[in-house]
Amino acid sequence: MSRGNITRRGNSWQLKFDLSAADGKRRTRYATVRGGTYKDAQRELTKLLNSADVGTLPDPSNATLAEYLRAWLDSSHERSPKTLERYRQLAERQIIPHLGANKLQKLKPEDVKRWHTTLLGQGLAPRTVGHAHRLLKLVLGYAVRSATLTRNVASVHAAPAVEVQEIETLTAEQITAALTKLEGHMLHPIVSLALATGIRRGEICGLQWGDLDLDRAVLRVERSVEETRAGLRLKPPKTKRGRRNVSLPAATVTILRAHKVQQMELRLALGLGKADASTPVFSDIEGRLLKPLNITHAWRYFVATSGLPKVTFHALRHTHVSTLISAGVDILTISRRLGHSKASITLDVYGHLIGGADEAAAAAMDGVLK
């Protein structure tokens, strides 16, 4: 006899399944899957039943927030290891110590508001409080969709406002000074590529020689390196826009050609053999994937000893965008180079850098009206 069934409800699927209680009786549970296909609903039903079998499906009648949150994290396999690692940190450090003992069914909006005040009073940055709030909202939203809760109390009060920080960039003079001082340094081709393309640190570490066509002056972003406590792993881009071709300036092609020659000489000297299409463009001394944190640490040390402003490695991506905007490159082209899923994301982050557009619009209309 089947332990559950699936019923279509408009654009949703209602899941109904039976569980055995400690008193020997059977309890019927319900859950809802918004949108998707019948197979999506089947997968969700299977996941819920598996959680029940191993004892990680909380009883909504008496589960605490800590129990429900940890069970959700244990069953949230569709998220990347790095994301889950960050979620667990937020849960164990910011949410569970303050709200974990509350019964899930009795959690109130006022509890969430007091929680914000407590975290801020402890000196936690509003941005971190916001990250924790969004995780709580995400988990309670799942409880609502699963018919465990009737409303998401984390939706009543917004997360604390975060002061907009000015984007860090380097000037043309600082870029020239940095590249000059980096000549002969392992960071030189990495920094040159970051400035020339705006691709992310993890994407740089994930580049393979088969992704580069130096004759055509173009690279293909196919993957990035993610670093967790378990080690390094290659992962595909989050969206289809993340897979993209990025054109290379001639100066960067020259630097990459020189880097390739040096890498080949080193590999032969170490007995690693010739590189092939799957060989990392940037690697450690033994030819293995380069850790993203190694780039961060090397850049931080370079900045501290070179007299440059104390900017992060990610500032090179911002500098790339700022340079393109100053040159009049349209926002859609910039968005595609960055791998943003939508041009609106690029506008939200970098729109304030687009100066003079309103004056240009007025001048254009003035020409028409005259």
218 & 336 share domain: yes
CATH code for the domain of 70 = 1.10.150.130
Decide which of 130, 155, 180 is a domain's last residue. Answer: 155
Q: Would 23 be classed as within a structural domain?
A: no
Q: Would 345 be classed as within a structural domain?
A: yes
181 & 321 share domain: yes
Decide which of 155, 187, 209 is a domain's last residue. Answer: 155
* In the predicted structure, residue 126 carries a pLDDT above the cut 90: yes
When pLDDT is cut at 50, 70 and 90, the band that residue 23 belongs to is low
242 & 300 share domain: yes
Mean pLDDT of 38-51: 86
Mean pLDDT of 121-129: 93
109 & 227 share domain: no
* In the predicted structure, residue 147 carries a pLDDT above the cut 80: no
- The total number of structural domains in the chain stands at 2
Cα 242 to Cα 33, 272, 334: the distances in Å are 28, 32, 13
Alpha helices (H) in 210-356, listed in sequence order? 250-270, 292-306, 315-326, 331-338, 343-350
232 & 333 share domain: yes
Tokens 């897979």 correspond to what residue? Answer: 243
114 & 70 share domain: yes
**Rounded to whole angstroms, how far apart are CA atoms 14 and 40?**
12
Q: Would 197 be classed as within a structural domain?
A: yes
In whole angstroms, what separates CA 333 from the centre of its chain?
21
190 & 81 share domain: no
CATH code for the domain of 302 = 1.10.443.10
pLDDT tens-place string over residues 290-309: 999 999 999 999 999 998 88
Quote the domain boundaries for residue 75. Answer: 58-155
Mean pLDDT of 155-166: 83
199 & 63 share domain: no
143 & 176 share domain: no
pTM for this predicted structure: 0.72
94 & 216 share domain: no
pLDDT tens-place string over residues 215-269: 999 999 999 999 888 889 999 988 889 999 999 999 999 999 999 999 999 999 9
123 & 179 share domain: no
Contact 4, 16 (CB under 8 A): yes
The dihedral sign for the CA sequence 132, 134, 140, 143: negative
**Rounded to whole angstroms, how far apart are CA atoms 294 and 306?**
18
- The more confident residue out of 93 and 59 is 93
Among residues 166, 169, 228, 165, the alpha carbon closest in space to that of 194 is found at 169
Q: Would 236 be classed as within a structural domain?
A: yes
Query: What is the per-residue pLDDT for 166?
Result: 73
